[in-house]
Structures are given as structure tokens and as C-alpha cells.
Amino acid sequence: MYIKSVDLTNFRNHTEYHLDCNPDTTLILGANGCGKTSVLEAIYILTRGKSFRATDKDILKRGTEFYRVSLEFNTGEQFSATYNQSTKTFLTHDKKSSRLPKKDKYPIVLFLPSDLNLISGSPSRHRDYFDRIFSELSDTYATNLHKYEKALRQRNELLKSDYCKESDLFPWNLLLAKYGSSITNQRRNIINTINNELTSTYYSIAENSDQISLNYITELSDITESHYLKLLEQNFTKDKYIGHTSFGIHRDDFKFIFNNSEADGSASRGETRSIILALKFIEANLLQSETGKKPIILLDDVFSELDNTRRKYLVNNFKNHQVIITSVEDVNY
């Protein structure tokens, strides 16, 4: 299955926009600021259920009352999402719902220019990046992460209260321990799977003997719920003083290791780009293995950041997928 066409109404700076897509590669060409990325964002909303960069209020074109985006697949199926300043409604298979149904989600590999600077990014940026990938790979992971973040917000609000007692936090501690320990276990398992392929995939791009791995850094040495709960309770005095939760998987980090040293500082610009390409290729393979579907590849203006050799590797690796590319200049693919 592939996307046949995309339509946008009152979506960011687009009043009306229509795109016909090819089954293999589609190039969206235009100057910076003309709304190319918005087309990829609309596709992402209709295949994953939410934007990869903003809230619906931010997406709505200024001065309008609603936005609508729709996709038609080569099978004739049509999906749409409409937001009217208060609610968002998905229409799939002639049925309306407030969220994109799980059965209608389609795997996506999203490649943004900022991804190429991932290695030098902050811990929060690392978490955001891998949480998005892991959520694509596992609905359970996405659900657990959502519930963890909701419980974390509630606990932090209580910690800011002048009248917060340790017993008030117990229900939220239980939830953080339950979902936090599960997320830790899931992260470790997925990282191990990635590491089994990372060096060999990198070699297919760089053709050298460099060794690449991804380290998962967490304060949780024991992934049991009871251990997690104990650490939360031990930190009550500190957390009450600073007004937020100082321990948990929301403080985890992911670091790339290049030939036994941190890649940030030891890998060259070209080597870091090869590492990210390798990661994207593995992501696509894992998604296809997990879902049984070939993911659609969305490439947002990344060709300007890659040399000709890496462009060729990128295109060749995804030649059997539907690829939608944005670019400020014509590219050879």
C-alpha cells in the first residue's frame, strides 16, 4: 500500500494544497518557508495520529476556524483529520473517532535535518528522539510512556504544593514504578536489538572497521517495581525541596560510542552522518519486521546535509519503499 495523494486545508501556511504521490519517490521542491515540511507533517498525522513537532492550535492557519488534512491510498481508502479549535476528529473507513485507531496506523521513518546533529544533542533531545522511534515500534511502549508522563506531571504538581505529605505521593509513586520499570526494560531490549546491527550497517555505508554501539544510561540498576518505588520514596525530602521528581526514566540518556569513545567529540562530521544513516536503516528494518508493512520514508531537506556518497546510500537503501522528499533544490535520486 502507498499514498496516492495528500490534501491540506488551512494547515499552517497552506490555504489549499494538493500533492499527487508516486509509488516510489516523490520530490516536493520549494524555497525555505514555503510549507514543504507541513506536507510531511500532515502525512505523519494521518499515519501516526499526531504531529511530530506541534500542537493542533499551532498548526491551524491564523485567522481560520478549522484545518483538514486527508490522504488517499492506492487501494482507494481515504483517511482524514479535522480540527475545529476544540476537537480533532479522524475519519477512517467511514467511521469517526477522536484518535487514529491503532489498526489504521502505518509505520513511518521520519528523517529531519536535526537528526543529523543527534549525537551532540542534550539528554532530553536524545530521549525525545528514541521515545518517538520506540513508540513507533511498540504500541505498549507508547501507552506506558504516556501514562508515565501523566503520573509524573501529577507528582510534580503535588511536590510544588506547600501542604504535600509523603503519603500524598504514594499513588503516583506506584504508577511511576510500574510504568518506569517497564519502560526501562523495553528500552534495554530495543537498544540490544539495535546494537546487534549497528556496526555491520555502519560498515555497509563507511566500509571500514570502526566499531559503533549505543549505550543506554539509566540510574535504575534494578528494573523491578519494588526497587523503583524504594528510590522514589528515598528521594522525597530532596524532591519536596526542589519541587520536582529528581529520579526516574525521564532523566535517562542514550550515548553513541565510536571505537570505545563517545562519538560526540571523537567522530568526524561525515562519520556522525554515517552513524545516523545506519540508525535510520535499522529503524526501517525493525518497523517492517514488527508490523509486516514496509514503512513510508519521509525525508525533510536532508539531502543538503549529505554528500553525494551518503545520498546514494540513502536512496539505494530505501529504493523498495515509498519515499517522499522535501528539498530547496532539485536532487538526483
Reported as a single tens digit per residue, the pLDDT across 253-288 is 999 999 999 999 898 888 998 999 999 999 999 999
The pTM for the full model equals 0.88
* In the chain, % of residues over pLDDT 90: 79
Pairing of strands 261-262, 253-258: antiparallel
125 & 243 share domain? yes
83 & 220 share domain? no
Considering the domain boundaries, does residue 115 fall inside one?
no
55 & 77 share domain? yes
Indicate which CATH number applies to the domain containing 178: 1.20.1050.90
Find the domain containing 298 and state its range: 3-106+294-327
Rounded-to-integer distance, Cα 134 and Cα 122, Å: 18
Q: What is the pLDDT of residue 265?
A: 87
Considering the domain boundaries, does residue 112 fall inside one?
no
Give 307-316 pLDDT, tens digit per residue.
Answer: 888 888 888 8
Q: Where are the alpha helices (DSSP H) in 169-291?
A: 170-206, 225-234, 236-242, 263-266, 269-291
Q: What is the pLDDT of residue 221?
A: 76
Q: Is the CB of residue 198 less than 8 Å from the CB of residue 214?
A: yes
Considering the domain boundaries, does residue 74 fall inside one?
yes
264 & 158 share domain? yes
Q: What is the mean pLDDT of residues 91-99?
A: 94
169 & 264 share domain? yes
218 & 136 share domain? yes
User: 200 CB contacts (<8 Å, ≥6 apart)?
Assistant: none
Considering the domain boundaries, does residue 306 fall inside one?
yes
In which residue are the cell numbers 518505588 written? Answer: 229
**What's the burial of 281, exposed, middle or buried (CB within 10 Å: 0-12/13-18/19+)?**
buried
323 & 238 share domain? no
Q: What cell numbers appear for 266 in the block?
A: 571523537
Give 34-70 pLDDT, tens digit per residue.
Answer: 899 999 999 999 999 999 999 999 999 999 999 999 9
Q: What is the pLDDT of residue 201?
A: 92
User: Is residue 109 predicted with pLDDT exceeding 90?
Assistant: yes
DSSP for 112-132?
Answer: -GGGGGGGGS-HHHHHHHHHH
In degrees and rounded to multiples of 5, residue 60 shows phi and psi of -60, 125
Q: What is the pLDDT of residue 208?
A: 86
131 & 96 share domain? no
Considering the domain boundaries, does residue 114 fall inside one?
no
**Residue 14: band (very low, low, confident or very high) from pLDDT cuts 50, 70, 90:** very high
- Angle, helices 170-206 vs 269-291, to 10°: value is 110
Considering the domain boundaries, does residue 101 fall inside one?
yes
User: Is residue 332 predicted with pLDDT exceeding 80?
Assistant: no
User: Is residue 95 predicted with pLDDT exceeding 90?
Assistant: yes
In which residue are the cell numbers 549529505 written? Answer: 306
128 & 31 share domain? no
User: 189 CB contacts (<8 Å, ≥6 apart)?
Assistant: none
Q: What is the pLDDT of residue 313?
A: 86
Total number of domains in the chain:
2
> Sign of dihedral through CA atoms 131, 314, 4, 26?
positive
Rounded-to-integer distance, Cα 213 and Cα 19, Å: 39
Considering the domain boundaries, does residue 332 fall inside one?
no
| Amino acid letter, 40 | L
Indicate which CATH number applies to the domain containing 323: 3.40.50.300
219 & 153 share domain? yes
Q: Which of these, 138, 142, 126, 62, lies nearest to 262 by C-alpha position?
A: 126
Q: What is the mean pLDDT of residues 161-180?
A: 94
Q: What is the pLDDT of residue 333?
A: 60
Q: What is the pLDDT of residue 183?
A: 96
Q: What is the pLDDT of residue 125?
A: 93
User: Is residue 229 predicted with pLDDT exceeding 90?
Assistant: yes
Element (H, E) at 47: helix 36-48
**Residue 317: band (very low, low, confident or very high) from pLDDT cuts 50, 70, 90:** confident
Q: What cell numbers appear for 120 in the block?
A: 551532540
Considering the domain boundaries, does residue 269 fall inside one?
yes
147 & 252 share domain? yes
Q: What cell numbers appear for 129 in the block?
A: 528522539
Q: What is the pLDDT of residue 330?
A: 78
224 & 128 share domain? yes
Give 66-82 pLDDT, tens digit per residue.
Answer: 999 999 999 999 999 99
Q: Which of these, 106, 27, 71, 67, lies nearest to 299 by C-alpha position?
A: 27
